[in-house]
Structure 1
Amino acid sequence: MLTLFRWLLRLTIALIVLLLLGAILIWYFSVRSLPDYDATYRMNGLTAPVEIVRSTENVPHIFGQSDADMFFALGVAHAQDRLFQMTLLRRAAQGRLSEIQGVGAFAADDLARRLELYRHARQSLEAQNKDTRAALRAYAAGVNEWIAEVNENALGRGAPEFFLFPDQISYWQPADSLAILKLLAATSSDAVAQEVLRARLSLVSPQYGPDILDAGTGMTPRPVYASLFPGARFVTPEKLARPGGPAQLTSFLRPGQGLGANSIAAAPSRTAAGGALLANDILAPMTAPSLFYLARLQLSSGGVIGATIPGIPAVLSGRNPHLAWGIAPAPVDDADIAIEEVQPGNPDRYRGRNGWTDFQSRNEVIRILDAPPRAITLRKTENGPAVPGLDPGLRDVTPMGHVPVLKWTGLSDSDSTLSALIRLMRAPDTDSAKAALGDVVAPAMIVTLADSDGIRQIQAGMVPRRASDHPTAGRMPAPGWLNSTRWADPESIETGDLPDETAGILISSEERSPALLRRGRLTRLIQDREVHSRDSFIATQLDVISPAARALLPLVGANLWFSGEPAAPGTVERQRQEALALLAEWDGEMSEHLPEPLIYVAWMQRLQDRLIRDDLGPIADDITILHPSFIDAVFRNRDGAARWCDIVQSAPKEDCTTIARQSLDLAILDLTEKFGPNVTSWRWGDLHQVVHTHPGIGSLSGLGWIVNLTQSVSGGDFTVAQGGLMGGKSTPYRAVTGAGYRGVYDLADPDSSVFITSTGQSGHPLSRHYDDLAELWRRGEYIGMSLDPELARAAALGVTRLLPRSE
């Protein structure tokens, strides 16, 4: 027995030693991949020495003698800090995530292959102007030189994540940057998701279902979806509920949750300092690291600084010495689903313009980690690629014997959008900027501009032109064989000034709700002051007042405020009275420290679900966001919308006041189970949290708590400082989108301009710059934005020197 004990003790000690040695080795190799920001490297591809001066916040300020060297050094800086992110985005665009993430990424790869994002990117390389092609080559050379440096000096494979994935880091190609921009465009629109959901609602409730999305929009009456396909068979309504959102091309960017933005600008006549002001915040899924990376380049046209996306050699939002710009998605419907009829008995042909036509088909193989490869067949028609997996609901709205295809402005082989963005960086004034934006194809965007002379907004990008007799006006899928459903001029690129509706003030807001509530709040904040300053623009950007709450609460609670005698303590009636008393005095501020936002959101979620579930059944699970205009129409009984308040399965006829009270009681019961009976002790931030999730390893057991960042945040769906509530059924209060980047540019004192991203500059979880900006971002603070070289050098944490290898 003593001998056995000794051997067990020895084995235990040996196991502990092995674990310690393993931990030490993991730590050593992980630390090896942390870049040395105060080093000198000799690299091929440079024409002269370059310096990368890292500010205190690790923002690279790049100084050199030629533009090509600037883009080369930007490639080095991106690769030093975000190499894993870059390769993940590239794989997503190529449809090769499954090779490192396994079968769970197959749907994303299948979709990317069907959209042919990478093929369109390669073809579009020749559409770029000479300067852009040179920038792409220089940028790729910089990325590749850093990859070579990592390999030659065993620098931990460049990022610790590469130790967990069987990923051979292939060298960067100029087309890779264009492919990531294509990916950006593909995820920036929710047009298809809205089309499909509207059609599903029409199938379940033909007369009234789409009202949920269209109430208050003033849109013309739509046809009943099933009537577009007379004689065709659909799945039965009971099978229409298919939980789950669109396929995720990558966790950095998700269809329907891609980029949005708010932009505001004030002319010099409307500012205290006499110079134009511009503020821009870009909304994106919350990830760690952030999608955005701050950088400054000293180009021959002058310095430029702002937000980049690793993998793309352009500043998307920022300023140069003379011009500031901010971007936002244009409110255009840039995609349609066409339903093609497959020839009976011959699945290789479909109904075309001139009769039965062969599909354009080819086969591809997707390799999958730890699983056999899968072959897929890519098919195209005159209208576009077949995309059965683009949205889960497509299966419900596609008649039997038909196939859905995508018409999208981004399916272009001559997309010169990157050329436009690089020309914009060099533009000295708004006229030059407008000329540059003429090259934008997809995504269509509104660019807000400011220079010494004033401000202007330009809408740029390809805009579909639908026929006046289009049966659905692009709001639902439509038969692809009809001439009326074809785009009249799909090659139309529109670049033009938007009107200045408020003298000296311009506003652009990403807004998925038809109520346009966020834009209305922005307009009010801007119009409330005759003269603005940088600080007033910051306050506007951080505003967390919910216009939806201000509009809905007086309406929904009209017959509930202070009604009835005081109830006994501890009863649901007493809690309801306490909750209503709090809401009656509340100004709509969605502060994380208050109970009122939590009560309001829980109430409205329960109310909307109770209004629609009896009519829609399980499809109600897919209505994941609040539709204030629908609730407004119901409680005002606009066009008889109060009919939604009656529960069809019950014998009594319920009115809207009854439904409002029952919904509030259900919300209170839910919150009581979570936080106890004391209504005043509840806090919005206890449930409204943002989880900055690492797209590569954030979901892996034991690693998520290291690489993911969790913060309670203020704001909500409709506040200017957005904290989107799209967490799904299991986490309905989670903020999954937000301002990944905020910038405020003051042209009266350009070096007082400020910016911030949602996490930090480094993508390395062991770097102190992985999350050093996250708390500043949560508190609504910023860091400085200066083009003064001396200020950049004054507090530099390191200077990286790049020398031509020949020297």
Structure 2
Amino acid sequence: MATLFKWLVRAFVGLIVLGLLVLALVWYLASGSLPQYDNRVEVTGLGSTVEIVRDHNAVPHIFAETDEDVYFGLGYAHAQDRLWQMTVLRRTAQGRLSEIFGEATFDTDVLLRTLDIYGVARQMVEHQSPDTQAALRAYSAGVNARLTQVREEALGRGSPEFFLFSREISPWTPADSVAVNRLMALQLSGHAVSEVRRAELSLLLPPDRLLDIMPEAPRLSSLAQPEFADLFDMQPANTPLPLRQALDPVAEFGMAGASNAWAVDASRSASDSSLLANDPHLGLSAPTIWMLARLEFPGGGAIGGTIPGMPGIIAGRNESFAWGLTTAYTDDQDLYIEKLNPDDPSEYLTPDGYAALTSREVLIGVGDAPARTVTLRRTRHGPVLPGDAFGAGRITPPGHVAALAWTALDPTDRSMDTLIEMQHARNIDEGRRALRGMIAPSQNFTMADANTVAMVVGGLAPLRQDSHQGMGRIPVPGWVAQNDWQGYVTRDQMPADIDPRSGLVLNTNNRTTDRAFPYHLSHVWGDTQRIQRARRLLAEREFHTVDSFVEAQTDIVSQTARILLPLIGRDLWWTGSPVEDDALAPLRQVALERLAEWNGEMSEHGPEPLIYAAWVRNLQRHLVRDELGGAMADRMTRLQPLFIERVFRDVDGASEWCNISTSQVEETCGDMTVRALNDALAELRDTYGTRVEAWRWGDAHLAMQEHEVLGRIPGIALIASIVQPTGGGDDTLMRGRLSGAQPNPYANVHASGLRFVVDFGDPENSRYIISTGQSGHVLSRHYDDLAVLWRRGEYIPMSLSEDRARADAIGVTRLVPRGQ
């Protein structure tokens, strides 16, 4: 027995030693790809030496003698820190994810091949200006210089993820950068998904009730145009939503891009010079899509947020001009239901009779399995969507297909010119000229020079005919000529606010125009709530400072909660015994007392935001389940505040939603409120315990910055994903959009990955932050070092002073022409 025990001990010790050796080997191989910021590298493709000075936050400050060499340096710096992220973005745009991820991403690949994002990008390159093409080539050369160094010096394949997946990395090309731009356009556009949602709901609801749950702005008469049920012989599908595909870039309903931006001119600034603030919102990830950088061109420097894969500052400032972005919500997509020839399904109906579908075959690799051949089809309107892409399969009648018309598929788009020229603009007039070739993605550009501010909608909207059957709200018959686009709305008809008398421009994805169709831009906007809080905060001060802009940018008071709580709780406040005597009574008493004193601040440290969020979530579920059915109701997982407000104010009879038509009694909105509160309290009790005082919003509202691949691997996910409690909510200025999905419907999944504030009275005091860290390497100390600052609403300084950058440097990478 003693001998057996000794051998068991030896075996156990041996396993521990073996495990440590394996971990050491993994660490050694993975750490080999950590970028060396203090280095001298000989490269090809440079005209002269480039210096990449990394400050203590690992922000690259790039110095060179020509613009092209600056872009070369940025490409190299991006590849140093974000090579895996860039590779995944490119593979997504190309429809080549399944080559490394297998079956899980096959449907995503089919969709991207169908849209031909990469084919459009290749054509777009030729339409950019010579200067932009030169920048794209130089940036690509910088990326490829890093790839060459990784290969020649055996630097751990460039990123740890390549040890788990394919090590093959094709050289970067200008089309790759344009494809990343097109992919961002796809993530920022949600109108096709919105059309499908409206079509589904119109099959279930009468027009007046449809307006409750999908209100329009500008509002149309419910009789002005036919609804989907009038155009097609369809029955409600009411089927469960298919599982979301891995790495799917199509935004879910209500989850397209969002942002805040505002600026005041010299007359409203304490420094007598303009101020600008911007915080773009996208889905959270680790690393974030953003990376801070400073580019020192021979004509002057630019500093701000970049997106690895693209050559330039996306939002930021130079010495005399600043610009920020918010998604414009321009209705840039239309779904067309095309009727196939019953005698020949290779043809579809047009206003002039049947015409042949354009088709081509592509081969898609699927991991170690045999590659698959997929047939891709197009109509005169655009690509025929595969399967249930954009949800279109649920509303496409038998014998028909759905085709997508989308402005971002126009190969003459010169959005990359806008990116390059904006960095060199010296005033608002030059900033506006930079928008002249842009089509998609449509963005609100908030601009400021030293004394003046402006907001201009960049990009173009499709021009629909006055007689368009759906007005961009629902899918329409593709064989009806009146539904065809007539080109684009002209640029001078796009909204613009230049040098306003108020001295203030502001956008939170709210409506930017009251013009009638077809110059309305959109019937669906990204915000109706944040704008109320932003207007109040910015109007209550006559003069603003960097600190007042930061205060507004990090504000966590929910205007939605302030509106809804008095409506839904009006019959419950201060009524003594709360409603009825049951097991939940003690919780209900405390919860109602706390909510009665609450000011709507969504602090991570208190229980009130959690009670409120659970209450309204359950309330909406109760209201819609009867009318929509279980499957459709299960898709309505995110709060629709205008819907709740209409119901409880009984706008146009909207309180009808409170009654359950199949029950024998008539329920009131008060009944629904009590049921929802009880369900919410039971849910929170079961999850967080019986002491209301111990509940914390931050325990539920966790910012889920997950690594797209490593975050799914047990153990490794603890290192690769960045999860931390946060304040804010769906409709606060410091936005933290709730997931709405199990296992944690209150998780923060969509927020500002970048925040910055610029003061032209003291430009060097401008502040910036991103949500993770500069590096995409999980072993780097700069992988998550900015995350805690971001959570706390803090910032880092970024300067255009070369002396400050060098004094603060943690390393200088010198790229020198090979042979020098």
Q: Note whether the superposition's TM-score is higher than 0.5.
A: yes
Aligned to 2:60: 60
Q: How many angstroms does 1:208 deviate by?
A: 4.8
Q: How many angstroms does 1:354 deviate by?
A: 1.0
Matches within 5 A, 1:180-219: 180-208=180-208, 210-215=210-215, 217=217, 218-219=219-220
Aligned to 1:520: 532
Aligned to 1:120: 120
Aligned to 2:776: 763
What secondary structure, in the 3-state scheme, does the structure 1 residue paired with 2:154 have? coil
Aligned to 1:450: 448
Looking at structure 2, the residues matched to 254 and 795 of structure 1 have their Cα atoms a distance apart, in angstroms, of 42
Q: Is the 8 A contact 1:80 1:158 kept in 2?
A: yes
Looking at structure 2, the residues matched to 452 and 307 of structure 1 have their Cα atoms a distance apart, in angstroms, of 20
TM-score w.r.t. length of structure 2: 0.94
What secondary structure, in the 3-state scheme, does the structure 2 residue paired with 1:388 have? coil
Aligned to 2:286: 288
Q: How many angstroms does 1:15 deviate by?
A: 4.4
Looking at structure 1, the residues matched to 375 and 174 of structure 2 have their Cα atoms a distance apart, in angstroms, of 28
Aligned to 2:261: 263
CA spacing shift, 1:46–1:253, aligned 2, 3 Å? farther
What secondary structure, in the 3-state scheme, does the structure 2 residue paired with 1:718 have? coil
Looking at structure 2, the residues matched to 255 and 58 of structure 1 have their Cα atoms a distance apart, in angstroms, of 36
Looking at structure 2, the residues matched to 4 and 556 of structure 1 have their Cα atoms a distance apart, in angstroms, of 70
Aligned to 2:296: 298
CA spacing shift, 1:689–1:150, aligned 2, 3 Å? same
Aligned to 2:513: none
Counterpart amino acid of residue 540 in structure 2: D
Q: Is the 8 A contact 1:450 1:456 kept in 2?
A: yes
For the pair 1:417 / 2:431, whether they are aligned, the reply is no
For the pair 1:28 / 2:31, whether they are aligned, the reply is no
Q: Is the 8 A contact 1:588 1:597 kept in 2?
A: yes
Looking at structure 2, the residues matched to 458 and 566 of structure 1 have their Cα atoms a distance apart, in angstroms, of 52
Q: Is the 8 A contact 1:726 1:734 kept in 2?
A: yes
For the pair 1:178 / 2:191, whether they are aligned, the reply is no
Counterpart amino acid of residue 634 in structure 1: V
For the pair 1:497 / 2:496, whether they are aligned, the reply is yes
CA spacing shift, 1:355–1:492, aligned 2, 3 Å? farther
Aligned to 1:537: 549
CA spacing shift, 1:251–1:689, aligned 2, 3 Å? farther
2:238 is aligned, of 234, 237, 240, to 240
Q: Is the 8 A contact 2:572 2:578 kept in 1?
A: no
Looking at structure 1, the residues matched to 416 and 619 of structure 2 have their Cα atoms a distance apart, in angstroms, of 45
Looking at structure 1, the residues matched to 35 and 178 of structure 2 have their Cα atoms a distance apart, in angstroms, of 26
What secondary structure, in the 3-state scheme, does the structure 2 residue paired with 1:730 have? coil
Q: For residues 540-588 of structure 1, give each alpha carbon's deviation from its aligned partner in whole angstroms, at most 9, with x where no partner exists.
A: 0001111111111111111221124468998423322321211111111
CA spacing shift, 1:421–1:788, aligned 2, 3 Å? same
CA spacing shift, 1:781–1:253, aligned 2, 3 Å? farther
Looking at structure 2, the residues matched to 674 and 741 of structure 1 have their Cα atoms a distance apart, in angstroms, of 32
Q: How many angstroms does 1:283 deviate by?
A: 0.4
Q: Is the 8 A contact 2:533 2:559 kept in 1?
A: yes
Aligned to 1:459: 457
Aligned to 1:108: 108
Q: How many angstroms does 1:64 deviate by?
A: 1.2
For the pair 1:776 / 2:776, whether they are aligned, the reply is no
Give the count of matched residue pairs. 802
CA spacing shift, 1:499–1:139, aligned 2, 3 Å? closer
Q: Is the 8 A contact 2:509 2:527 kept in 1?
A: no
What secondary structure, in the 3-state scheme, does the structure 2 residue paired with 1:711 have? strand
Looking at structure 2, the residues matched to 757 and 168 of structure 1 have their Cα atoms a distance apart, in angstroms, of 30
CA spacing shift, 1:770–1:426, aligned 2, 3 Å? same
Q: For residues 614-654 of structure 1, give each alpha carbon's deviation from its aligned partner in whole angstroms, at most 9, with x where no partner exists.
A: 11112011112211111111111111111100011211000
For the pair 1:73 / 2:73, whether they are aligned, the reply is yes
1:428 is aligned, of 412, 426, 429, to 426
Q: For residues 381-419 of structure 1, give each alpha carbon's deviation from its aligned partner in whole angstroms, at most 9, with x where no partner exists.
A: 011101134646322211111101101100111221011
CA spacing shift, 1:794–1:663, aligned 2, 3 Å? same
Aligned to 2:725: 712
Aligned to 1:312: 310
Aligned to 1:370: 368
Counterpart amino acid of residue 506 in structure 2: I
Looking at structure 2, the residues matched to 436 and 445 of structure 1 have their Cα atoms a distance apart, in angstroms, of 13
Q: For residues 589-624 of structure 1, give each alpha carbon's deviation from its aligned partner in whole angstroms, at most 9, with x where no partner exists.
A: 011111111111111011111001011112011112
What secondary structure, in the 3-state scheme, does the structure 2 residue paired with 1:407 have? strand
Q: How many angstroms does 1:244 deviate by?
A: 4.2
2:709 is aligned, of 696, 721, 732, to 696
Counterpart amino acid of residue 540 in structure 1: A
Q: How many angstroms does 1:533 deviate by?
A: 0.4
Q: For residues 246-275 of structure 1, give each alpha carbon's deviation from its aligned partner in whole angstroms, at most 9, with x where no partner exists.
A: 656557987863532110000011010101
Counterpart amino acid of residue 504 in structure 1: G
Looking at structure 1, the residues matched to 175 and 401 of structure 2 have their Cα atoms a distance apart, in angstroms, of 31
Q: For residues 744-791 of structure 1, give each alpha carbon's deviation from its aligned partner in whole angstroms, at most 9, with x where no partner exists.
A: 011110000000000000000000000000000000000002100001
Q: How many angstroms does 1:489 deviate by?
A: 1.6
1:225 is aligned, of 223, 228, 237, to 228
Q: Is the 8 A contact 1:456 1:506 kept in 2?
A: yes
What secondary structure, in the 3-state scheme, does the structure 2 residue paired with 1:348 have? strand
Matches within 5 A, 1:736-751: 736-751=749-764
Looking at structure 2, the residues matched to 321 and 335 of structure 1 have their Cα atoms a distance apart, in angstroms, of 37
Aligned to 2:610: 598
Looking at structure 1, the residues matched to 383 and 490 of structure 2 have their Cα atoms a distance apart, in angstroms, of 20
What secondary structure, in the 3-state scheme, does the structure 2 residue paired with 1:439 have? coil
TM-score w.r.t. length of structure 1: 0.96
Q: Is the 8 A contact 1:514 1:629 kept in 2?
A: no
Q: Is the 8 A contact 1:248 1:255 kept in 2?
A: no
Q: How many angstroms does 1:224 deviate by?
A: 3.1
Counterpart amino acid of residue 270 in structure 2: A
Q: How many angstroms does 1:689 deviate by?
A: 0.8
Task: Out of 732-741 and 21-30, give the one that drifted further.
Answer: 21-30
Q: For residues 703-733 of structure 1, give each alpha carbon's deviation from its aligned partner in whole angstroms, at most 9, with x where no partner exists.
A: 2111001111000100010000124243210
What secondary structure, in the 3-state scheme, does the structure 1 residue paired with 2:463 have? coil
For the pair 1:84 / 2:78, whether they are aligned, the reply is no
Q: Is the 8 A contact 2:413 2:440 kept in 1?
A: yes
Q: Is the 8 A contact 2:638 2:740 kept in 1?
A: no
Task: Out of 297-306 and 207-216, give the one that drifted further.
Answer: 207-216
Aligned to 1:509: 508
Counterpart amino acid of residue 315 in structure 1: I
Looking at structure 1, the residues matched to 450 and 704 of structure 2 have their Cα atoms a distance apart, in angstroms, of 40
What secondary structure, in the 3-state scheme, does the structure 2 residue paired with 1:575 have? helix
Looking at structure 1, the residues matched to 669 and 526 of structure 2 have their Cα atoms a distance apart, in angstroms, of 22
Q: How many angstroms does 1:331 deviate by?
A: 2.9
Q: Is the 8 A contact 1:71 1:135 kept in 2?
A: yes
Q: How many angstroms does 1:465 deviate by?
A: 1.0
Looking at structure 2, the residues matched to 147 and 252 of structure 1 have their Cα atoms a distance apart, in angstroms, of 30
Counterpart amino acid of residue 204 in structure 2: V
Q: Is the 8 A contact 1:302 1:320 kept in 2?
A: yes
Matches within 5 A, 1:158-173: 158-173=158-173
Q: Percent of pairs identical after alignment?
A: 45
What secondary structure, in the 3-state scheme, does the structure 1 residue paired with 2:377 have? strand
For the pair 1:48 / 2:60, whether they are aligned, the reply is no
Q: Is the 8 A contact 1:206 1:224 kept in 2?
A: no
Task: Out of 390-399 and 420-429, give the one that drifted further.
Answer: 390-399
Q: Is the 8 A contact 1:72 1:142 kept in 2?
A: yes
What secondary structure, in the 3-state scheme, does the structure 2 residue paired with 1:177 have? helix
Looking at structure 2, the residues matched to 641 and 16 of structure 1 have their Cα atoms a distance apart, in angstroms, of 66
2:343 is aligned, of 342, 345, 362, to 345
